[in-house]
Structure 1
Amino acid sequence: MELNATFSRPVGFFIMGLQSLPDSKYYFIFLAFVYIGTLLGNIFLIMVIWQSEALHTPKYMVVFSLSIVDVSHSTALVPKCINQFLFDSRFVTYDLCLTQMFFVHYFYTLESFLLVIMAFERLVSICFPLQSGTILTNSRMFGIIAFCSALALTVVLALTFLFIQLSFCKPIIMVMSFFCDHGPVFKMACSDNTPNWKATTFYMYAVIFVPLAFILMSYVCIIVAVSRITSVKGRWKAFKTCTVHLILVSVFFLPILVTYTIAWIYITIDANTRILNTSLSAVLPPFLNPIIYTLKTEEVMEQIRRFRRRHSVKP
Structure 2
Amino acid sequence: MPQQDNLSTGNSAGSDPSVFFLSGIPGLEAMHFWISIPFCSMFTVAILGNFTLLYVMKTEPSLHKPMYYFLAMLAIVDLVLSTTTMPKTLSIFWFNSREISFNACLVQMFFLHSFFFMESGVLLAMAFDRYVAICNPLRYATILTNSVIAKMGLAALARAILLVVPVLFLLRRLPFCLSHVISHCYCEHMAVVKLACANTSINTIYGIIATLLVVGLDLMIIALSYVKILRTVLSLASKEEQLKAFSTCVSHLCAIFMVYTPVVLTSIIHRFGHQVAPHIHILIATVYFVFPPMMNPIVYGVKTKQIRDRVRLLFRGKNF
Q: Give the TM-score normalised by the residue count of structure 2.
A: 0.91
State how 1:234-253 maps to structure 2 within 5 Å: 234-253=241-260
Alpha-carbon spacing, 1:95–1:309, altered in 2? closer, same or farther (3 Å): closer
Q: Which one of the candidate residues 169, 176, 198 is aligned to 1:168?
A: 176
1:242-287 per-residue CA deviation (whole Å, 9 max, x = no partner) reads 0000011101111221221243345432101111111112210011
Distance 1:252 1:142 in 2: 23
2:201 is aligned with 1:183: no
1:161-310 correspondence runs (5 A): 161-170=169-178, 173-265=180-272, 267-304=274-311
**CA contact under 8 A between 2:26 and 2:279: conserved in structure 1?**
no
Q: Partners in 2 of 1:305 and 1:87 — Cα distance? A: 37
Is 1:6–1:168's contact at 8 Å kept on the other side of the alignment?
no
How far does residue 19 in structure 1 lie from its aligned partner after superposition? 5.4
Letter in structure 1 aligned against 2:44:
I
RMSD of the alignment, in Å?
2.2
Quote the offset at 1:239 in angstroms: 0.6
Report what 2:5 is aligned to.
none
Report SS of the residue matched to 2:208.
helix
Q: How many residues align?
A: 312
Please give the secondary structure, in 2, of the residue aligned with 1:13: strand
Report the equivalent of 1:137: 145
More deviation in 254-263 or 184-193?
254-263
The alpha carbon displacement at 1:42 in A equals 0.4
Distance 1:190 1:309, change over 3 A: closer
What displacement does 1:29 show? 2.1
Q: Shift of the alpha carbon at 1:102? A: 0.9
Q: Secondary structure at the match of 2:100?
A: strand
For each residue in 1:128-180, what CA deviation from the matched residue of structure 2 results, as whole angstroms up to 9, or x when unmatched? 1111111111221011101111111111112112111111114x611111111
In 2, the alpha carbon distance for the partners of 1:220 and 1:295 equals: 25
Tell me how far 1:292 sits from its aligned partner: 0.7
What SS is found at the alignment partner of 1:311? coil
Residue pair 1:208, 1:257 contacting (<8 A) in 2 also = no
2:180 aligns to what SS in structure 1? Answer: strand
For residues 227 and 9 of structure 2, what CA distance do their matches in structure 1 show?
A: 61
Asked if the contact 2:24–2:92 (Cα under 8 Å) also holds between the matched residues in 1, the reply is no
5+ unaligned residues in a row in structure 1: which ranges?
none
Name the SS for the 1:92 alignment partner.
strand
1:95 CA displacement: 1.0
1 CA distance for matches of 2:33 and 2:317?
44
Query: Conserved in 2, the CA contact under 8 Å of 1:175 and 1:185?
Result: yes
With over 3 angstroms needed to count, the CA separation of the structure-2 counterparts of 1:247 and 1:7, relative to structure 1, is same
* Structure 2 alignment gaps of length 5 or more: 1-7
Q: Partners in 2 of 1:269 and 1:106 — Cα distance?
A: 28
Q: Of the candidates 150, 156, 159, which is equivalent to residue 158 of structure 2?
A: 150
Within a 5 Å distance, the mapping from 1:79-94 to structure 2 comes to 79-94=87-102
Report the Cα distance in structure 1 between the residues aligned to 2:273 and 2:98, rounded to whole angstroms. 30
The CA distance in 1 between the partners of 2:283 and 2:18, in whole Å, is: 27
Percent of paired sites with the same residue:
33
* Equivalent position SS for 1:205: helix
Per-residue deviation, 1:223: 0.4
Q: Aligned letter for 1:65? A: M
Q: Distance in 1 between matches of 2:34 and 2:270?
A: 27
